[in-house]
A and B are shown apart, each in its own frame.
Chain A
Amino acid sequence: MIEVSNVNHRFGERHVLRDINLSIGERRVGVIGANGSGKSTFVRLLNGLLIPDEGAVAVDGIDTRQDVKAVRRKVGFVFQNPDNQIVFPIVEEDIEFGLKNLKLPKDEIARRVDSILGRYRLEHLRESAAHLLSGGEKQMLAISSVLVMEPQYVVFDEPMTLLDLRNKKLVLDTIQTIEQSVILVTHDLDHLHDFERVIVFDRGEIVADGLPESVIQYYTRAMT
């Protein structure tokens, strides 16, 4: 369970999140809103990339201000642009990076790398240069690098924005089939119909929160 209590956050003079209160216990949650509405700032709070100016964020009872390392072990984060989240030049090395940070033994690292490369059909790219992969392969590498750490929750911040149709589908299928709880930030409303809950942000506030059908209808009306 992720609990967000009385959160306010500012960037300089700009008040980007206002009085956010919610609990997330569902396995599939969508977050939507116009550009600059505060949704990306909100999800960055969930694994301690941002610490709120006011209020608290707790993951399974662990406050991001108290033990951010423990929170990051629980909440993985996939960013929009895979180029900016691949740390090492070779596919295998990049997947190993997060596991080394978890200080796992070598044989466990090797086992998990083999398993994730096999599961997402990246085995043939194991020793490839990450920068030479296609956009879809890069995003699958970024997702694999997060999933291999076996977090309980995964935040996806617009992971399909830069992808073509085929790769969008590949990434979406992956998001839909992983066992972890998912919080997906997206502009593609079609992706959210199977979700359990959708939250709408507008000017730093939550303006709608509920089942996809009614929330998406509300959002579509508000935006047109």
Chain B
Amino acid sequence: MLSLYVPGDSFVHRIPAGTKLALLFAGSIALFAISNIPLHVGELLAIVGLFYIARLPWRATLRQLRTALFFMVPIFLFHVFLTDWVLGLETVLRILALLLFAVLVTLTTKLSDMIDVLERAFRPLAYLGINPSKISMMLSMVIRFIPLMMREAQEILEAQRARGLDRNAIAVLVPLLIKTLKMADDLSDAIDARGYDAETVVPIWRRVH
């Protein structure tokens, strides 16, 4: 599961989810609005400091950043050859700071707390007839399903290998799709059985006053 949350009781863990997400949002705008390399280095160091305060395991952090870090090299080289290395350095610093900040928020915030914040943030969409509760539940289900699907895909691959079939995308995708739909059906029953009830939302133009 994208179970990124690392339990803890640090100062960073205790910051409310809404505040962390608002800071992430504001920080990401500021990072790209302001052009100043020493400032970006300072931000990066501050975020690293927060990782230390939150006592987060470096291995889990690096695992999440592995793919992104891989892309930093071509981004920097692209700037070195086509623009200038200073801009390349600044771009890489910005992306790294933003990524680390996002990872920090994810590792120190429970999914249910984030979903609660998103549900509140999406509330104005109810005027358009879009149900904020359903959107937040949908996001949570996406996160819930990714690891399940990965495990199912692995099982299908192993079953096929055991019968002598080597890599074949279609042969994996079709049973995976069927299994995923079945899982979705079961999970929706479980959600209903535990009393989930997304309130009915009526768009503003259909409301009777």
Name A's B-contacting residues (CB within 8 A): 44, 47, 49, 69, 72-73, 76-77, 79, 81, 83-90, 92-93, 96-98, 101-102, 126-132, 145-146, 149
A102 and B195 contacting across the interface, CB-CB below 8 Å: yes
Please give the distance in Å from B13's CB to the nearest CB on chain A.
10
A88 and B144 contacting across the interface, CB-CB below 8 Å: yes
Q: How far is the CA of A94 from the CA of B140 in the complex (A)?
A: 12
Known: A88-B112, A89-B1. A101 touches B197 (CB 8 A): yes
Please give the distance in Å from A92's CB to the nearest CB on chain B.
8
B143 and A89 contacting across the interface, CB-CB below 8 Å: yes
Q: How far is the CA of A47 from the CA of B195 in the complex (A)?
A: 10
Number of A-B contacts (CB under 8 A): 90
Q: How far is the CA of A165 from the CA of B198 in the complex (A)?
A: 39
Q: How far is the CA of A69 from the CA of B189 in the complex (A)?
A: 14
Name B's A-contacting residues (CB within 8 A): 1-3, 5, 7, 110-112, 140, 143-144, 147-148, 183, 186-187, 189-197
Across the two chains, which residue of chain B brings its CB closest to A85? Answer: B190
Across the two chains, which residue of chain B brings its CB closest to A155? Answer: B193
A84 and B190 contacting across the interface, CB-CB below 8 Å: yes
A93 and B111 contacting across the interface, CB-CB below 8 Å: yes
Tell me which of A77, A79, A93 contacts B112 (CB under 8 A): A93
Q: DSSP class of B's interface residues: helix, strand, loop or mixed?
A: helix
Q: How far is the CA of A80 from the CA of B110 in the complex (A)?
A: 27
Known: A49-B189, A84-B183, A131-B1. A90 touches B195 (CB 8 A): no
B194 and A145 contacting across the interface, CB-CB below 8 Å: yes
Tell me which of B3, B111, B194 contacts A131 (CB under 8 A): B3
Query: Ordered nearest first, which 10 A-B pairs have the shortest CB separation?
Result: A127-B7, A85-B190, A129-B3, A84-B186, A101-B195, A77-B193, A98-B194, A93-B112, A89-B3, A131-B1
| Chain A positions within 8 Å of B192 at CB level | 49, 72
Tell me which of B148, B186, B195 contacts A79 (CB under 8 A): B186
Please give the distance in Å from A183's CB to the nearest CB on chain B.
13
B3 and A87 contacting across the interface, CB-CB below 8 Å: no
Please give the distance in Å from B138's CB to the nearest CB on chain A.
12
Q: How far is the CA of A44 from the CA of B191 in the complex (A)?
A: 13
A72 and B195 contacting across the interface, CB-CB below 8 Å: yes
Please give the distance in Å from B74's CB to the nearest CB on chain A.
33
B147 and A101 contacting across the interface, CB-CB below 8 Å: no
B195 and A69 contacting across the interface, CB-CB below 8 Å: yes
Q: How far is the CA of A77 from the CA of B187 in the complex (A)?
A: 12
B190 and A129 contacting across the interface, CB-CB below 8 Å: no
Can you name 4 extra interface pairs (CB under 8 A) apart from A85-B190, A88-B111, A93-B111?
A: A84-B190, A88-B140, A101-B196, A145-B194
| Chain B positions within 8 Å of A98 at CB level | 194-195
Please give the distance in Å from B123's CB to the nearest CB on chain A.
16
Please give the distance in Å from B16's CB to the nearest CB on chain A.
13
Q: How far is the CA of A88 from the CA of B148 in the complex (A)?
A: 12
